[in-house]
Amino acid sequence: MFTKCFWFGVYKNNATVKKREYQLRNSYDELKQINLKLRESQSQLIQSEKMAGLGTMAAGVAHEINNPLAAVLGSAQLALLRSDKEDERVRPHLVDIERECLRIRDIVESLLKLSVDSGQKNASALDLNQVIESALSLSARPLIAQRIQVKRDLGKDAPKIRGVSADLQQVVMLLIANAKDAMPDGGSLTIRTEVVDKKLVRLSVEDTGIGINEANLEKVFEPFFTTRSKDGHKGMGLAVVHRIVEDHHARISIDSRMGQGTQVRITFPAVRDALHIA
């Protein structure tokens, strides 16, 4: 009798220990997930604060540059109109001045986009798939010329999101342009939309390009950061994308592996009406 009770006690203790180990493992996994989400949120907050500061500074710098730039550009264009087309000594220099002034103007406009909160202006309920189709139609020619295959995986019956159509179209076109530049010898571009947790709409843009070095992933949303400056890139595309995404109360993340490609994901909140929420 004593032996039976002894072994029953051992068995019961072992079962209790295993149950506690199981509970501890589950608690540990949950804590890991919570910690990961906290780190992601902290990273997003730091990036948001950094972009807000840069946007304020960019607005001031842009306005200070615009006036003298307009004067130089106007003088160069006026001199071009008055110059002899066959004057090989002066005209080439004027053409260079005009070209570089226009380039500076484009950079200034990009800077201003970092400082303008456009997410709530003229916003309306939008079908994200329609925005994507419009952006693809405008980007089709260079993609075809570069032998890039476009794969659409657009979720049906997805709820609408609230935003500015032109701004979101610009986001998609900038992501497409980045993907195109990462595949100079052709490749595959996949654009996907899906519903997450029945209350979010996620856009994914994935390419099979050269990828981004892990050390550079934290810098890709910073203004003027680019790994392709020799190709004339200003490094403003993803900075503008980040700003617009924030204006739309959405979240953006990027994953990349060298030689395997890059995936950018943007998650938007669905509009309440589309979810039939009171």
* Tally of CB atoms within 10 A around 158: 19
Judge contact between 221 and 230, C-beta under 8 A: no
The model's pTM is 0.62
- SS3 call for 2: helix
Task: State how far the Cα of 251 lies from the Cα of 269, in Å rounded to an integer.
Answer: 9
Give me the pLDDT at residue 203, please.
Answer: 96
Q: Assess whether pLDDT exceeds 70 at residue 1.
A: no
Is CATH 3.90.1150.10 the classification given to domain 124-275? no
255: confidence class by pLDDT, cuts 50, 70, 90? very high
Q: How far is CA 28 from CA 19, 20, 23, 39, 42, in A?
A: 14, 12, 9, 16, 21
- SS3 call for 256: strand
Task: State how far the Cα of 84 lies from the Cα of 90, in Å rounded to an integer.
Answer: 9
Highest mean pLDDT among 41-55, 74-88, 191-205, 230-244: 191-205
**Residues of the chain above pLDDT 70, percent:** 73
Q: Which residues fall within 8 angstroms of residue 123, CB to CB, at 6 or more apart?
A: 162, 163, 164, 248
Q: Which two tokens stand for residue 151?
A: 């794969």
Q: How far is CA 40 from CA 19, 27, 46, 76, 215, in A?
A: 32, 20, 10, 49, 17
Highest mean pLDDT among 97-111, 118-132, 164-178, 218-232: 164-178
101: confidence class by pLDDT, cuts 50, 70, 90? confident
Q: What is the DSSP string of 133-201?
A: HHHHHHHHHHHHHTTEEEEEEEPTTPPPEEE-HHHHHHHHHHHHHHHHHT-TT-EEEEEEEEEETTTEE
* Tally of CB atoms within 10 A around 176: 24
Task: State how far the Cα of 38 lies from the Cα of 244, in Å rounded to an integer.
Answer: 23
Q: Assess whether pLDDT exceeds 60 at residue 89.
A: yes
Listed residue (238, 139, 147, 243) closest to 191, CA to CA? 139
The model's pLDDT over 175-224, given as tens digits with 9 standing for 90+, comes to 999 999 999 999 999 999 999 988 899 999 999 999 998 888 888 887 77
Instruction: List where CATH 3.30.565.10 sits in the chain.
Output: 124-275
Quickly tell me which residue has 């979720």 as its tokens. Answer: 155
